A and B are shown apart, each in its own frame.
Chain A
């Protein structure tokens, strides 16, 4: 009987680790459905970005109020995880507050800091719930925010609130137990925030207090482990993916589109241009499609982007097309990409048809009307706090439509034709190109 708690804990922890491990493996193989692309250059610049943008939350602070609230949760998450470590060691060893004897006088200070952060997280999550559900901040209620994304967002906030309440409840009951049974319950001194809850439990007998303390402890640690698994199915995965995603984000100017080398080879051949050195270009690797029709045509970085997106909607709220009522929403581009990746990954894992299920990212998830509304102004790229690039996906989808389907809008096809025949996007004679200077050359200076 003595070890029953420890055995139960090992089973719970083992199950959580097993499920998490499987989910991480799946997400990794899902991301690898994307095309390979070499992103290794300039590591110092990449670490700098990761430090400033991901760890330092630099881009979040373009909007100071949500940035501050988010910072409290972020710091709370980082620091409270230290307490989770103690929970795990306690659970495995059957001890209580295993760190207390080692840390001595520092322990109560740490506990007070944890409690402060727990209250800060409570405050921020409540404020976020109010912003979403009462103030109804516009970007949380646009078209792509259907029932699941809305529920997901609210669940995350409610779960975090409940988990923090469990810590405070546990500490309140624990403080009373320290007075009743000082031998077993290590003195922590008075804990500022949980002391406010003590009146709720005062006068209870030891058995009830032990029950409350243990229930809160189990609730918190099982809750955390369950939440960790939940996160891998949720937009909340950004708490991990934001870091690699920022590390691998583009370093070139935002205006620069990636060159399609497969096209360059063909263009050089058509124009009879010999590559430098006079040797013919190496046979291109399997060209596949020009542009992207489905997720396997995108790069692994595009797919990683979709897992890093927490659907905050800053991109969409700055998108000129979206803000003037067009269908395009950069956030939806990311959500659709992730939905499609998850769908294909799940199908493949179950021995299903995967990519060959008759659906594609373009058309079945993202329509031409959406991508045709893009002004490639890069406001979405600029706005993203974790440097996601929805525009890169839009460009690749547009390339597929133009080059594989010849499905561009008629006026774009005319523009293409004008460039081909008149060397200008408008239908003007090339011989008239220099006419602007005719009168100027006669004008008195």
Chain B
């Protein structure tokens, strides 16, 4: 590993050197396996590298938090996952976790304490907001985004679940783009349709797909970028945009990708 390539240390490597990072970046399953969303993981790692944050990932030691199993009713499987993950995290004496996935965030932050996992858990939107506020991320005049319209789609597990509405918006405002709101935003934000395990099954019979309904609302703002802060929202909104045949004009991007672009990282 040379000095001028990106650094992605694992907890195991650091522990072997007797070091412990300031934060654990919890990548999540979508961040590890989903082809489109892996780009978000890489974007966030680039930001961490540029800013010089001391971090590590679990790498092959990470496993599903158990969230989709729990929401689908399988409490046994959830707790099996949770208890094993907590053993790993406690083994490394992890104090602070940052993740880009609101579902992992919610589970780690709110649901692991009951099983003995107590960490300071931060969503990457809040983390990016802190970096911007501390002046550690300074965007280059926002040239690329100036005059463009961005709309932000609230993730249920950030917003209603954990009352995080402002951090992602402040991150977007740092880009110097025009932030346009959908009618149903913040506490009234309309789900992308993937929560509660819906990501892993077909929708029940109805007259419309939830993601199409939401994408239509996002498109009606006239924004050329739909910003998201969740891997499931990313998939659902991207599919929605494809369904409306707008993928040439409208991009769905994660906050981390937008900030990485603003930093000139591609």
Contact = CB atoms under 8 A, between A and B. Distances in A.
Given A325-B207, A379-B160, A433-B60, A256 B6 contact: no
Interface in B179-208: 187-191, 193-208
B75 A263 contact: yes
A423 B60 CA distance: 10
Contact of A440 (B6, B194, B201): B6
A416 B114 contact: no
Contacts of B189: 379
Contacts of A343: none
A411 B202 contact: yes
Contacts of A264: 79, 83, 114-115
Contacts of A320: 190-191, 193, 210, 213-214
Contact of B74 (A253, A408, A441): A408
Interface stretch (B14-22, B29-37, B124-132, B244-252): B29-37
Contacts of B224: none
A369 B5 contact: no
A371 to B, nearest CB: 9
A321 B205 CA distance: 10
B45 A437 contact: yes
A259 B80 CA distance: 13
B5 A402 contact: no
Q: Chain A: interface residue count, which band?
A: 35 or more
Given A440-B42, A445-B49, A433 B33 contact: yes
Contact of A419 (B69, B106, B187, B205): B69
Contacts of B111: 256-257, 259
A408 B197 CA distance: 11
Contact of A255 (B5, B8, B157, B207): B157
Contacts of A321: 204, 206, 210
Nearest to B188: A318
A402 B206 contact: no
Contacts of B137: none
A330 to B, nearest CB: 13
A320 B31 CA distance: 26
Interface in A311-327: 318, 320-321, 323-327
Contacts of A270: 80
A426 B29 contact: yes
Interface string A42-68: 000000000000000000001000000
B31 A436 contact: yes
Interface stretch (A92-100, A157-165, A166-174, A392-400): A392-400
Interface string A243-266: 000000000111111011001101
A403 B60 contact: no
Interface string A403-432: 100001101101110011001111010111
A155 B171 CA distance: 52
Contact of B208 (A62, A267, A325, A434): A325
A151 B106 CA distance: 42
B96 interface: no
Given A324-B208, A375-B196, A378-B160, A425 B68 contact: yes
A336 interface: no
B1 A441 contact: yes
A269 B76 CA distance: 12
B142 interface: no
B6 A424 contact: no
A425 B200 contact: yes
B148 interface: no
A430 B63 contact: yes
A269 B40 CA distance: 38
A382 B45 CA distance: 34
A415 B68 contact: yes
A255 B193 contact: no
Contacts of A382: 160, 187-188
12 contacts: A253-B110, A263-B79, A264-B114, A268-B83, A271-B80, A273-B83, A320-B190, A375-B195, A425-B69, A436-B27, A445-B4, A445-B6
